[in-house]
């Protein structure tokens, strides 16, 4: 009798993601896959995080977008190495896309690599790219119903960054419900409330990130 188990580990994306992870580990690099809806503030969080890590960690960035180089241009101003991937229509980054740019970054010189995924609250959570952790951003303007409507990303993420908290006085949004529902989906998810505009909460996120990447 022959038994064939269609194990996830044999899946092509999973295999390439493991190759990427080995390359990152070989370079002593901690990798964060950053995901959110369009316009939730991934690039703004990266800008704040890179500034906060200046002098502490060598940071590199891979930018994923359907088209264009807007985000890479923003990151380049902070004088860190950045590579832009254009997915050409695909709504998420996959492991092969990341594999194809590994030689375009000075991996051995870096401590932290951020992979900014395509803006999409669904598919990016399904595709590993070789990261150590997934981190997601939710803008409070998206409403408090998002965890239960888009559960996978909340389940897959190690941290949830609730952004644009400065807009809270002008919205009918129940941040406590976001916290409660996210924790019901993923009891170990670490939650930060931040404003990339005012800087509120950014320090706590960076402190956690440094601890997590060193542990």
User: Would the CA dihedral through 19, 79, 209, 143 be positive or negative?
Assistant: negative
Candidate ranges 19-27, 32-40, 51-59, 95-103; the one touching a second copy (CB under 8 A): 32-40
Candidates 21, 128, 134, 146: give the one binding a second copy (CB under 8 A). Answer: 146
How far apart CA 130 and CA 82 sit, in angstroms, is 17
Stretch that binds a second copy, among 1-9, 46-54, 168-176, 204-212 (CB under 8 A): 168-176
Dist CA 132 CA 112 (whole Å): 10
Q: To the nearest whole angstrom, how small is the minimum distance from the Cβ of residue 49 to a second copy?
A: 18
Smallest separation (angstroms) from a second copy to the CB of 136: 12
Q: How far is the CB of 153 from a second copy (least distance, A)?
A: 10
- Binding segment toward a second copy, per CB under 8 A, in 6-14, 23-31, 60-68, 75-83: 60-68
Kindly list the strands in the beta sheet with 30-36, ordered across the sheet, starting from the edge strand earlier in the chain. Answer: 82-86, 59-65, 112-116, 30-36, 133-139, 159-163, 190-193
Is residue 55 close enough to count as binding a second copy by CB under 8 A? no
- Cβ neighbour number for residue 61 with a 10 Å cutoff: 28
Question: Residue 115 contacts by C-beta under 8 Å, 6 or more apart in sequence?
Answer: 31, 32, 33, 34, 61, 62, 64, 93, 98, 129, 131
Per-residue binding string, a second copy, 95-114, x by CB under 8 A, is --------------------
Which helix (H) or strand (E) element contains residue 27?
none
Residue 24 CA to residue 2 CA, distance in Å, equals: 36
Using CB under 8 A as the binding rule, whether residue 77 contacts a second copy is answered as no
Smallest gap from Cβ 108 to a second copy, in A, equals 32
Task: Give contact residues for a second copy (rule: CB under 8 A).
Answer: 37-40, 65-68, 70, 89, 91, 118-123, 126, 139, 141-143, 145-146, 148-152, 164, 166-167, 170-172, 197
């Amino acid at each position: 009798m022959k038994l064939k188990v269609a194990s996830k580990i044999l899946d092509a994306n999973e295999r390439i993601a493991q190759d990427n992870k080995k390359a990152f580990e070989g370079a002593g690099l901690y990798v964060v896959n950053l995901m959110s809806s369009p316009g939730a503030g991934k690039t703004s969080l990266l800008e704040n995080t890179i500034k906060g890590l200046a002098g502490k960690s060598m940071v590199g960035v891979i930018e994923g977008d359907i088209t264009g180089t807007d985000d890479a241009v923003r990151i380049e101003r902070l004088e860190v190495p950045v590579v832009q991937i254009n997915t050409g229509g695909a709504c998420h980054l996959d492991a092969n896309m990341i594999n194809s740019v590994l030689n375009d970054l000075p991996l051995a010189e870096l401590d932290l690599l951020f992979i900014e995924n395509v803006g999409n609250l669904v598919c990016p959570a399904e595709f590993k790219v070789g990261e150590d952790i997934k981190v997601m951003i939710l803008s409070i303007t998206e409403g408090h119903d998002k965890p239960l409507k888009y559960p996978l990303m909340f389940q897959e993420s190690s941290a949830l960054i609730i952004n644009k908290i400065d807009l809270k006085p002008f919205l009918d949004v129940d941040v406590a419900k976001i916290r409660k529902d996210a924790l019901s989906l993923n009891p170990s998810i670490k939650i930060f409330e931040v404003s990339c505009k005012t800087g509120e909460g950014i320090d706590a996120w960076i402190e956690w990130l440094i601890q997590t990447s060193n542990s």
